[in-house]
Amino acid sequence: MNIRKHSSNTVKSASPPAENYRDELRRTISPFQSFAVAFGFVSIATGIFTTYGAVLNSSGPMGIWTWPIVVLGQLMVALLFGSLSARIPVTGYVYQWMSRLTNPVLGWMMGWLSFTFLIIVTAAVDYTIASTILPVTFGYVATLNNTWGITAVVMVLQAIMIACSTSFTQRFNGIAVTIQLVGMLSLVVLLFGAGYAHNLLDFSRLFDTGSIARTDYFSLGTLTHAGPFVLGTLLGAFTIVGFESAANLAEETHEPERVVPKAMWQAVLSLGIIGFLFLVAVTALAKDPTELARSGTPVADVIYRVLGPVTGNALLVLVIISIFSCGLVIMLSSTRLVWAMSRDARFPGHQILHKVDPTHFTPRNATVFSMLITQVVLAAFSQDQSALFTLFGAATLLPAMIYAATVIMYIAKRKQLPESRGFKLGIWETPVICLAVIWLAFELLLFRDEQFRGAWSYIALMCAIGGTYLAYLLLTRGRQGLTMPDMISIDSVLDNDARSVLNNDVRSMTDN
């Protein structure tokens, strides 16, 4: 399984040499930490706390039944991503796969689109802490300015952690994921227990449409509007994304061909089950769904009312840690993508951004750059009353586009993929592909709704910026100048003896 045969010919001098594909980052990520990366990025706490109110307003309580549909669809996508990551376990994931299996121009486009997604979703996740949880936890009124300020500080703290130590970041995320698992399961048990004890559970609310009319509730909608039930898929579509972040740390993971695919599908499945139980509990305890829909912090309100201020606040602190960790993992993934594209001289400022700090073995410059760009995006939305919806709308649309393009590429190139030692779909490949295609086509149709105009505007602007830089690359280097550099044989990386050497003998990075 030599990936070299899938690479293009020798690059021009504008591109980095093949030696740059030797391991420059420490292989320190364990199987649990890889799972924690995928689990932490998805973060049901983040997704549900962010979008539950929007779903109550668009679909009513019954909108939660779209959750199992989304989980099944995204699980199929995760399995296909696992199949790719087992064959090309390289930092840069979609950018690398598309560049090497189709052509580097399409690969660059996917890389830029992925960067656009990671930037906006970092802002959306961190904004959630300041806008939907901290006001209830600490009893203050959230304003546009204090929400902006708190979110900006959170981003700086995350960037400092990532730049200083990957191992510390991974340990923190592992602890946070454990907290999230314990915290969410505890929330589910306590909500059901307290609801039963005080006769607060009303499961008929699970089939209530709230203020949404039942007429045409299940319709697909019109040319510019999605139907009420269809809009409910936003809840899961925003939440169950980012599982592929485990693949973006492949070069820092022990046995990535085996570990990364498992981390992705296990994260989707486990989060899907826990998340649905939590949604059922919160919805069954919603005293008045129509009134709750008017709140800016509906989930926190239910927890606070049912469990009381002491227990409620304690559990909300655990949720804050979980969401902080989610933003941390997303920023970590963003820095690795920027670094990977810069290593190939494909990213603006690559001369600086490709460097690895010789002391901490982290892409410090790429980390600072990602944080600063995220701050710019946050500032652009900071004075918008509907900022959170616009942010999560764009953060839902972009991965759907990325997943669809990657699945299409997989279908076209699957017969040409090298063999995998770690993960195979076997006879299940065809049904998995069919279900993934049906789900992604359905999801993309959702974004014809005019309320996503702001999300489309953000994507159009970022694509225009990226397109300008791509044109510059093509004009100055030509298409041949974007040819991907050869990598060392994946066989040797997967070989036990070679891996032992790589783990114990980290090469120093030259400033090139």
* pTM for the structure as a whole: 0.82
Q: How confident is the model at residue 439 (pLDDT cuts 50, 70, 90)?
A: very high
Q: How many CB atoms are closer than 10 A to CB 345?
A: 22
CB-CB contact of 130 with 352 (8 Å): no
What does the mean pLDDT of the chain come to? 83
CB-CB contact of 327 with 333 (8 Å): no
CB-CB contact of 350 with 342 (8 Å): yes
pLDDT reported for residue 502? 36
Measure the CA–CA gap between 117 and 114, rounded to whole angstroms. 5
- Evaluate if residue 462 carries a pLDDT over 80: yes
- Evaluate if residue 73 carries a pLDDT over 90: yes
Measure the CA–CA gap between 134 and 147, rounded to whole angstroms. 9
Q: 9, exposed or middle or buried, with CB in 10 Å at 0-12, 13-18, 19+?
A: exposed
Q: What's 9's DSSP letter?
A: S
- Evaluate if residue 493 carries a pLDDT over 70: no
Q: How confident is the model at residue 16 (pLDDT cuts 50, 70, 90)?
A: very low
Share of the chain above pLDDT 70, in %: 89
- H helices of 165-201, where? 166-197
Angle in degrees, CA 422, 424, 426, rounded to 5: 155
C-alpha separations of 442 from 126, 200, 398 in Å = 28, 36, 15
Tell which residue, 238, 214, 236, 239, has the closest CA to residue 227: 214
Q: Residue 221: phi, psi to the nearest 5?
A: 100, -165
pLDDT reported for residue 25? 57
Q: Residue 108: phi, psi to the nearest 5?
A: -60, -45
- Evaluate if residue 409 carries a pLDDT over 90: yes
E strand or H helix that includes residue 431: helix 429-446
Angle in degrees, CA 403, 433, 7, rounded to 5: 65
- Evaluate if residue 9 carries a pLDDT over 60: no
- Evaluate if residue 487 carries a pLDDT over 80: no
pLDDT in tens, 228-273: 999 999 899 988 988 988 887 888 788 888 899 999 999 999 999 9
pLDDT reported for residue 279? 96
pLDDT in tens, 35-54: 888 887 787 877 888 789 88
Q: Among positive and negative, which fits the CA dihedral 278, 403, 399, 249?
A: positive
pLDDT reported for residue 101? 86
CB-CB contact of 293 with 61 (8 Å): no
Alpha-carbon dihedral 468, 471, 472, 474, rounded to 10 degrees: 160
pLDDT reported for residue 142? 84
pLDDT in tens, 132-166: 788 888 888 888 899 999 999 999 999 998 888 77
Tell which residue, 281, 226, 251, has the closest CA to residue 59: 226
- Evaluate if residue 115 carries a pLDDT over 90: yes
- Evaluate if residue 167 carries a pLDDT over 80: no
Per the structure block, which two tokens stand in for 509? 């990075």
**For residue 221, what are the β-bridge partners?**
226
SS3 assignment, position 102 = coil
Please give the full DSSP string across 242-276, using - where no structure is assigned: -GGGGGGGGGGBSSHHHHHHHHHHHHHHHHHHHHH
Q: Residue 508: phi, psi to the nearest 5?
A: -75, 145
pLDDT in tens, 179-192: 878 888 888 999 99
Q: What are the chain's domains?
A: 3-501 (1.20.1740.10)
Task: Return the percent helix, strand and coil in the chain, to nearest 5.
Answer: 75, 0, 25
Measure the CA–CA gap between 277 and 219, rounded to whole angstroms. 26
Q: Which residue has the higher pLDDT, 387 or 458?
A: 458
Long-range CB contacts (within 8 A, 24+) of 198-206: 198/306, 200/285, 200/287, 200/306, 201/284, 201/285, 202/284, 202/285, 203/280, 203/284, 205/61, 205/283, 205/284, 205/286, 205/289, 206/61, 206/62, 206/64, 206/65, 206/280, 206/283, 206/284
SS3 track for 336-387: HHHHHHHHCCCCCCHHHHCCCCCCCCCCHHHHHHHHHHHHHHHHHHCCCCCH
- Evaluate if residue 6 carries a pLDDT over 70: no
Measure the CA–CA gap between 122 and 128, rounded to whole angstroms. 10
Average pLDDT over residues 197-216: 91
Least confident of 144-148, 359-363, 395-399, 471-475: 359-363
pLDDT reported for residue 192? 96
Task: Please tell me the total number of residues recorded for the chain in this structure.
Answer: 512
pLDDT in tens, 342-354: 988 889 998 899 8
Q: How confident is the model at residue 333 (pLDDT cuts 50, 70, 90)?
A: confident
Measure the CA–CA gap between 133 and 136, rounded to whole angstroms. 6
Q: Which residue has the higher pLDDT, 154 or 32?
A: 154
Average pLDDT over residues 209-238: 89
Long-range CB contacts (within 8 A, 24+) of 505-508: 506/23, 506/24, 506/26, 506/361, 507/22, 507/23, 507/24, 508/358
Tell which residue, 7, 5, 21, has the closest CA to residue 103: 7
